[in-house]
Amino acid sequence: MRLIQLCKGIGIALVASFVVQSTAAAQIRVVATTPDLAAVAREIGGDRVNVVALAKPTEDPHFVDAKPSFIVTLNRADALIDGGAELELGWLPPLLENARNGKIAAGAPGRIVASEGIRLVEIPTSFDRSKGDIHSLGNPHFMIDPLNVKIVARNIATHFAQIDPKSAATYSANLSKFNTRLDTKLAQWQQQLAPYKGAKIVTYHRDFPYLAQRFGLVTLDELEPKPGIAPSPAHLAQVIGKMKANNAKVILVQPFQNRKTAETVARQTGAVVIDAPQQPGAAANASTYFDSMDNLVRAIASGLGAQK
């Protein structure tokens, strides 16, 4: 009967799967949901890890397709780094459901929740979708504050050491090196943005509060009337009025946001639109976290500087 043949086939393939699984790779296989998390994991893991990111650097991390190939990637992972603040809520759960990988199950050493220990901002006090698509745990775009990244790096190093104790010293050394460099860089970035303390910025989505907080900028408004709600002419008119009244001269947009809308507002207000990708890899010359932040800070500083 067909069924018996099917069972035989499954049996043979089962044996084959054990054979494949026993040939373990030397590097630990790390999957990060977004490229910024992957970039930090590469700094900490060095040559001990093989890191892949699921979301593309130019892609809206809220809206990633749950492609079946990701199931395979997650199935074979030794570790998964996710933001832990609902950024990936629309696509990660069904992938994990089918990945059948206990190593990356919630609570396992291989499951690294990047935001653990980070003080998230904008935590809603009530759940109400008439306020837009708010994240119940707070704003998930925390990776553009370098001090948050320090916490993420420490979380990653701790888990890497648990998964791969033989290389614990390497991870610890890489973490120190990363932190030292981050301290130097942070001082440099702060210096670059110091002249613009208190400057008003406008963003497309509510995705830059952590940056504003760290570098003393003030987010005047967003082009979206509410998080996740498309800009309406009435709201944009308000934003334009507000920008003129407050002399706000820059609008930050990410690659997946509607630049045309930002340009329209910029024309009305004499502001400049700044391409401000948060993800490493979005620009060809910026594959590391440092390169990416260098670009971002430089772009914001020059945008604000041009208006002085």
Q: State the residues that interact with other proteins by CB under 8 A.
A: 2-3, 6, 10, 13-14, 16-18, 20-21, 56, 58-60, 62-63, 65-69, 71-72, 75, 86, 89-94, 97-98, 100, 102, 105, 115-120, 123, 125, 127, 129, 133, 136-138, 147, 151, 228-230, 255-258
DSSP, collapsed to helix, strand or coil, labels residue 280 as coil
Helix (H) / strand (E) containing 52: strand 49-53
Rounded Cα distance between 152 and 113, Å, is 8
Q: State which residue, 47 or 65, has the beta carbon closest to other proteins.
A: 65
C-alpha angle 43-46-49 in degrees, rounded to nearest 5: 110
Rounded to whole angstroms, the Cα distance separating 249 from 244 reads: 9
Question: By C-beta, is 47 or 133 nearer to other proteins?
Answer: 133
Report the residue number, 229 or 242, with the smaller CB distance to other proteins.
Answer: 229
Q: Which is nearer to other proteins, 189 or 204 (CB)?
A: 204
Q: Which phi and psi angles does 178 have, rounded to 5°?
A: -60, -45
Output 59 or 164, the one with its CB closest to other proteins: 59
**What is the smallest separation between the CB atom of 301 and other proteins, expressed in angstroms?**
24
Q: How far is the CB of 262 from other proteins (least distance, A)?
A: 12
CB within 8 A of 123, min separation 6: which ones? Answer: 136, 137, 138
Q: Which of 254, 302, 227 is nearest to 57 (CA)?
A: 254
